[in-house]
Amino acid sequence: MGNVRGLLLPVVNRMPVPWRFAKYHGLGNDFLVGADGRARDGRWAARVCERHRGPGADGVMLVSRRRNRFALHIFNADGSPATFSGNGIRCAAAWLFEQGQVASPLELQTPAGLVTVSRSRGCSMALAFRIDSLRKPGDPPVRSVALPVGLGAGFRLAYHVVLGNPHLVLPVDDADRLAPPTLEALDRARGKSRRFPDAINVSLVAPVSAGVFRLRTWERGVGLSPSCASGACATLYAGSVGGFLPASVRFLQDGGELRVTCDGRTIALEGPIELAFNGEV
């Protein structure tokens, strides 16, 4: 046999560079947070968010530095791009605080607009933003809307809100007692439709006691969430405009409690953010 040594080529290492992340959650609403380095697309995000074959999460927060400010690139669990996430943004800020790169309070540039996050007592993290900083020219005003087909029974009103991302807020008597057909109708409303071509988050809000309300949110790209901070902000905004919520509210979600206030110009939210684990993929 002839000499083939000269035909051998050097082996090139084609293994992808590992992505180091931290998994944080806000009342069970969990996110993978790490630096935004090489191009990461929606398929990659869906793969790492998959709970059986990946680390598992409700979304991915990619952090980069732009000039003198940190910016976020956000993916939902299904790989679709997201513009705003109250829990995810606070998770990203917690990661930056832990890295020792920034001090509290911190301004973060999100796809929806500029927000401020600060450490609070214990593991609590506070988020605040000006309402007009998250609303773009052409966004519809907060308004009551006709309910999608299948959602008429048991609901008095619905409010369409765009606050960083689109929401449908439905005041109800009991957010926990819904028949399966109603749940299916909510899921259809949450999905893409002619009325909501970019899909929509759907929140049910019900009174519990003075200043305390039950809140459940079906998030686009995720599903029923144990906690949705952007849904809490949008619900209080709708309630302040519609006159069915006070200016300061404790929202009881499946994962726990969020405190939200609205003075007509700014919205502030506070609740716990906790580290689950660090890893790499």
d(CA 274, CA 243): 34
- Contact status, residue 211 vs residue 248, Cβ threshold 8 Å: yes
In single-letter form, the type of residue at position 148 comes to P
Helix locations, 63-179, DSSP H: 86-99, 131-134
- Secondary structure letter of residue 113 according to DSSP: -
**Domain ranges across the chain:** 20-130+272-280, 143-270
User: CA 201, CA 221: separation in Å to the nearest integer?
Assistant: 9
Instruction: For residues 45-51, give the mean pLDDT.
Output: 96
Q: Do domains 20-130+272-280 and 143-270 have the same CATH topology?
A: yes
Going by the DSSP 8-state scheme, the letter that residue 98 receives in this structure is H
Classify 50 as helix, strand or coil. Answer: coil
Helix (H) or strand (E) holding 240: helix 229-242
DSSP character at residue 214? E
Tokens of 204: 């049910």
Looking at residue 198, its pLDDT comes to 74
Count CA atoms within 13 Å of residue 128 on its CB side: 15
> Is the preceding omega at residue 180 within 30 degrees of 0, hence cis?
no
pLDDT tens digits for range 197-253: 778 898 999 999 999 999 999 888 888 899 999 999 999 999 999 999 999 999 999
CATH architecture type of domain 20-130+272-280 = Roll (3.10)
Cα-only R_g, the chain:
21
Distance CA(222)–CA(225), nearest Å, equals 7
Options 3.90.1150.10, 3.90.1530.10, 3.10.310.10, 3.40.50.150; CATH for 143-270 is 3.10.310.10
Token pair for 236: 């209080």
Cβ partners under 8 Å of residue 87, min gap 6: 25, 26, 27, 29, 31, 227, 228, 229, 230, 271, 273
What is d(CA 182, CA 218) in angstroms, rounded to the nearest whole number? 13
**Lowest-pLDDT choice from 1-15, 78-92, 97-111, 226-240:** 1-15
Instruction: Please check the confidence at residue 32 and state whether its pLDDT lies above 70.
Output: yes
What is the pTM (predicted TM-score) of this model?
0.89
Condensed to tens digits (0 to 9), the pLDDT of residues 94-139 reads 999 999 879 999 999 999 999 999 998 878 999 999 999 999 888 8
Q: What pLDDT does residue 155 have?
A: 65
Task: Report how far residue 143's alpha carbon sits from residue 71's, in angstroms, rounded to the nearest whole number.
Answer: 31
